Amino acid sequence: MQPLFSSDDIARRLTEMGQQLANDYAERRLTVVSVLSGAILFTADLIRVVGLPLKLEFLRASSYRGTATSPGELQVECLGDLSALAGRDVLIVDDIFDTGRTLERIIERLNEARPRSLKTAVLLWKTERRQTSLVPDYYGFQIPDRFVVGYGLDFDGDYRHLPGVYALDEPGS
């Protein structure tokens, strides 16, 4: 495993993101919607550095990667009441933007709740793999097309607990 970002790198970047979000969402009615399970560490750290009053909701998204994926095959399961998002300034927090299909589908679903605004924040953005016109509104780091684990990200359920982010595979493999 090759280290990409240490816990210190992440903490420093999150402080910057937190300041940006604190400016952008001051005087707003912020609801953070965290995408389980990958975004748990990122969400926990980010909401503490934003330092604004906010509400926290969760959803689970399961994609069928490696199959003939179309947006309709992505399941989005809201764990709370979707109507709680009406009129709120909603920030979706996810671990990684890869093809963007998952966030695209989540946005489609959450828009049904008529939030006042709907934006996205991801820790990592794999810029080479984007398959939609969507781009994340806030991101921590842009990364090349490598499979990464740690800080919430898993490979087959493992490595989520690691405090930093690591590339699992070798370039080109």
CB of 98 to Mg ion, least distance (A): 9
Beta strand pairing status for 165-167 and 75-78?
unpaired
Beta strand pairing status for 165-167 and 2-5?
antiparallel
Contacts of 27 (CB under 8 A, 6+ apart): none
Say if residues 91 and 30 touch (Cβ distance below 8 Å): yes
CB of 87 to ligand IMP, least distance (A): 27
Candidate list 153, 162, 165, 166; residue touching ligand IMP; CB under 6 A:
153
CB of 98 to ligand IMP, least distance (A): 3
Say if residues 88 and 31 touch (Cβ distance below 8 Å): yes
DSSP-assigned beta bridge partners for residue 134: none
Site for ligand IMP in 87-146 (CB under 6 A): 94-102
Q: Which entry of ligand IMP, Mg ion, none binds 99, CB below 5 to 8 A by partner kind?
A: ligand IMP
Q: How many residues bind ligand IMP (CB under 6 A)?
A: 15
Nearest-CB residue for Mg ion: 38
Say if residues 99 and 129 touch (Cβ distance below 8 Å): yes
Interface with Mg ion, residue 136, by CB under 5 A: no
Task: Quote the tokens at residue 18.
Answer: 């937190």
Residues at the site binding ligand IMP, with contacts judged by CB under 6 A: 38, 63, 94-102, 147-149, 153
Question: Which chain residues interact with Mg ion by CB under 5 A?
Answer: 38
**Residues known to be catalytic:** 98
